Structure 1
């Protein structure tokens, strides 16, 4: 049993491996093939693209030299030549396959891993043209799929405009998509540009677009969003690679700091999560993460007085109506024992980091003194009266921490086995998703709460459409789904504006 990847790399049995057939050097060399094999295995486990990172790591960790039978650290050029000129292609493939196997096995055993294992080789194979479709092929397939998906998602959105309107309702969604294509583009300026780029005879003016969106309530926007996502899920569920089950992450994000006068809007423009003197609109989402296509299942505003428990319950109601939820991942702002008890009562497992109080800090200090990297203990959290919530606390030392004391440790809570802790790394996907979503939002200075939320919710839909299109294109062209997109967000939005009537 090992508690880290490095000891396993050192312990890989190579005594009976015949390296001669894969050694393209004939003369004497400074380093044995078995030693180089272990070094490149270590490099691949960490996911480093260049030999320099391996050299720097070994230099900083002289304790590893004995494990790898090194009297000195090889320089970058020696390692580069060994990999590119000494190792055969078959041996390179073996290193990469072995590294992925180690990472997967370590993850499943609850051992901390340097990176999430990929499902296919990271090395580009120039001979494998079938599994690497050209950019033109991807774009052509994306155009077909985008047309299908836009017909599925957008009809769920509607405006209450009455009878006899000359401008087609889709023109409003075209304009909103157009705003998402341009960074910091407000609706008035966008509507003027939209006239020239659209092939529609009539397009909405900025004030008309803004007025109709303002008439939508938060409740209406949320209902339309859930209908659109439901239709989107139905479409991707046609593929064997998508399952209506998995891990979800819940989090809260915030708009850019609000710098205007918030008088009369104090319940909507609330403080930032960092507890600064700034104010911002806040939105909460629940998103599929892990191996699933990262679709945002629901979104809601966060207002003054909303408890974290109410937010989580609300979003989980939507998520569980759409998919089968197994596990829930959340940040430490959701570490309330009442939230954890609610999740357990719903039959859900969770992983949530815990804010360190006096007892956790004391335990971390003891672990630091003993030099232990990991520690588990059961804990009962008081719910009130004579009721308790049972959880497991897992202390884990952070790799490459900036601290030199007990602050190297993080504490996580889970109601399942500690192997579930490895899944917490998936939570970063909701954070990276927010970056794209905010890029898809039109710019506005309006303090109308419904309009602000609509801009965010529509951006969530555009993001979800992009990831759904990417899934369908990958399956069509390669027969499988890799989490890293092959269709870019810009391509998808450009195709969306084309399919919905722009340009």
Structure 2
């Protein structure tokens, strides 16, 4: 293996591990799920007997040893004492210290050992960045912690496997009726069949309605046709009793029934999304593992759209077309390009964008509000733009119908006076939002803290927030929540050492600082770091997007009813998984005396992986509909 190949392999393994730390909070689970490229590495011991251990198992064990910084003796004792490690790494019996030592010396080449050592060091660093405990410094005791019980050889996961189908089926039956296409009662295919089809689309990486139909429904008689699915979803996304007007028929459009205004579509889908989430919350709200008021996080994700808004050279048919200059180059926008596609951060990136509000912290993370994002893009001459303040207002309006909220966190894109005013004055909730990196106040305060070694945090209270006539979404003169001279409320600014790169502004001495804004007025310098540490709860939403966006099916239709519903449905799938996992944890708590979350502990690791939930869901949905195989007498 060349040095370049070795470096490439190292980078791929570390990248995998970093992504897995977003899902698992256990180093053994991360190493268990690593995809090891054994086509690129070879066992130096080419004799296999009934007594030899699998090479792959020994590689995973060695990585675990190095990441956890265990001696060979500690490792052999650990894998013998904790049988779950044997199962995760693929052993049928625990290897002895002698077997471990022999493998390292004889089956791992010196080059391969050096590679694994480098990978282990970087995986350990990645775990520490994700706040995952990588050191296994203690042995099992008579009173194991919930995490140890969850990862033991006790039959917890066997119990979960037995209970999961019933819980999943119950959840699907409870939530599905909240989604109503509004079609007549004598249709051939009930709504439940439509949602089966939508689920199939989410299970396939690049599945549109036609692809899902070809892949799965060929096994069924009288299967739902993809056109029927499209019509049903469009019916759901069309406002009840909607009357088309001449404005709905743009010049040059050949659609017989054009798409209603995107805002009306969003309102209609959001109403049904909210009903479904309400059903879900009933499942968890009464339990001890869920408490209100909740902390919430707001963020934005995107779904790529791979069609350019610009005409090709051969498509420009008139000299009268007015170009738009892009980096000094004249470009001509297409007519009837989807209005909800926004320009990404890069020039050639185009995407549908959505904002979500998610319950975070100790509670089960659930997406409880979704909102489309509409921005005027460079190819639009007079396109509509919706301010972040309005987006936050609409998210909060949806969410507060379902739960009580006491704290809202968002990233620095929401560092705007209008957003602060909406949260403080319209909803009376606390907020915690980092200031933008180009903040003059941030640079000034950073210098003060850096030059005074006795200061670790600086808090400025009673910083008056004033709104101007130019503040998006808020009319200071007409809004009754705005006081004289545009005064909104007092803001507390907290300048603290940064814990994450996306918070910070770095200086020449490489010291990181962050400035956060909150409307709480009781924060002292001693309290500041503790409050800011709560911002790490917002990481739930980053993990959430990594799970939701792969569930959004790739569809060709630009009909916004299809687009927005597909995203909302994917959020519901994510919520269903979280709820099923929550319910299984409740059952496990009742079944196993030692299992459960302590008073000061964070959430327990999932007991049902997302992939298992999706696979089980599809089996349950098809169980009644699959036709039996032909039987030969």
Go from structure 1 to structure 2 and tell me whether the alpha carbon gap of 1:485 and 1:126 turns closer, same or farther (over 3 Å shift).
Answer: farther
Go from structure 1 to structure 2 and tell me whether the alpha carbon gap of 1:428 and 1:485 turns closer, same or farther (over 3 Å shift).
Answer: same
Distance 1:122 1:464 in 2: 35
Distance 1:318 1:78 in 2: 45
TM-score, structure 2 normalization: 0.58
After superposition, the CA RMSD in angstroms is 3.4
Distance 2:341 2:355 in 1: 14
Indicate yes or no: 2:573 matched with 1:462. yes
Aligned residue in 2 for 1:209? 229
Aligned residue in 1 for 2:352? 281
**What are the Cα deviations for residues 219-239 of structure 1, in whole angstroms up to 9, with x where unaligned?**
221111110110111122242
Indicate yes or no: 2:362 matched with 1:291. yes
Determine which structure has greater relative contact order: mean sequence separation of CA pairs < 8 Å that are 6+ residues apart, divided by chain length. Answer: 1
Q: Tell whether the 8 Å contact from 1:286 to 1:298 is kept in structure 2 after alignment.
A: yes
Aligned residue in 2 for 1:415? 519
- Structure 2: gaps spanning 5 or more residues: 1-24, 29-65, 79-127, 239-264, 310-333, 376-384, 469-484, 591-595, 598-602, 627-633
Aligned residue in 1 for 2:418? 338
Distance 1:153 1:500 in 2: 14
Go from structure 1 to structure 2 and tell me whether the alpha carbon gap of 1:271 and 1:122 turns closer, same or farther (over 3 Å shift).
Answer: farther
Distance 1:439 1:344 in 2: 35
Go from structure 1 to structure 2 and tell me whether the alpha carbon gap of 1:467 and 1:386 turns closer, same or farther (over 3 Å shift).
Answer: closer
Aligned pair partner of 1:230 in 278, 289, 313: 278
Aligned residue in 1 for 2:207? 185
Shift of 1:264: 2.2
Q: Tell whether the 8 Å contact from 1:375 to 1:395 is kept in structure 2 after alignment.
A: yes
Go from structure 1 to structure 2 and tell me whether the alpha carbon gap of 1:175 and 1:390 turns closer, same or farther (over 3 Å shift).
Answer: same
Q: Tell whether the 8 Å contact from 1:150 to 1:499 is kept in structure 2 after alignment.
A: no
Shift of 1:340: 1.2
- Structure 1: gaps spanning 5 or more residues: 1-46, 51-75, 89-112
Indicate yes or no: 2:432 matched with 1:351. yes
Distance 2:405 2:139 in 1: 35
| Residue range with higher mean Cα deviation, 321-330 or 441-450 | 441-450
Indicate yes or no: 2:70 matched with 1:80. yes
Shift of 1:276: 4.4
Aligned residue in 1 for 2:497? 397
Matches within 5 A, 1:53-202: 80-81=70-71, 84=74, 125=140, 131=150, 132=152, 133-197=155-219, 201-202=221-222
Distance 1:386 1:163 in 2: 55
TM-score, structure 1 normalization: 0.72
Aligned residue in 2 for 1:269? 341
Shift of 1:114: 7.5
Go from structure 1 to structure 2 and tell me whether the alpha carbon gap of 1:253 and 1:124 turns closer, same or farther (over 3 Å shift).
Answer: farther
Go from structure 1 to structure 2 and tell me whether the alpha carbon gap of 1:386 and 1:323 turns closer, same or farther (over 3 Å shift).
Answer: closer
Go from structure 1 to structure 2 and tell me whether the alpha carbon gap of 1:325 and 1:197 turns closer, same or farther (over 3 Å shift).
Answer: farther
Aligned pair partner of 1:329 in 403, 409, 416: 409
| Residue range with higher mean Cα deviation, 432-441 or 208-217 | 208-217
Tell me, what secondary structure is at the counterpart of 1:390? strand
Distance 2:566 2:353 in 1: 13
Distance 1:79 1:407 in 2: 29
Distance 2:406 2:556 in 1: 40
Go from structure 1 to structure 2 and tell me whether the alpha carbon gap of 1:386 and 1:222 turns closer, same or farther (over 3 Å shift).
Answer: closer
Aligned residue in 2 for 1:15? none
| Residue range with higher mean Cα deviation, 151-160 or 163-172 | 163-172
**What are the Cα deviations for residues 290-311 of structure 1, in whole angstroms up to 9, with x where unaligned?**
0111111011211232111111
Go from structure 1 to structure 2 and tell me whether the alpha carbon gap of 1:368 and 1:450 turns closer, same or farther (over 3 Å shift).
Answer: same
Q: Tell whether the 8 Å contact from 1:187 to 1:444 is kept in structure 2 after alignment.
A: yes
Distance 2:68 2:283 in 1: 52
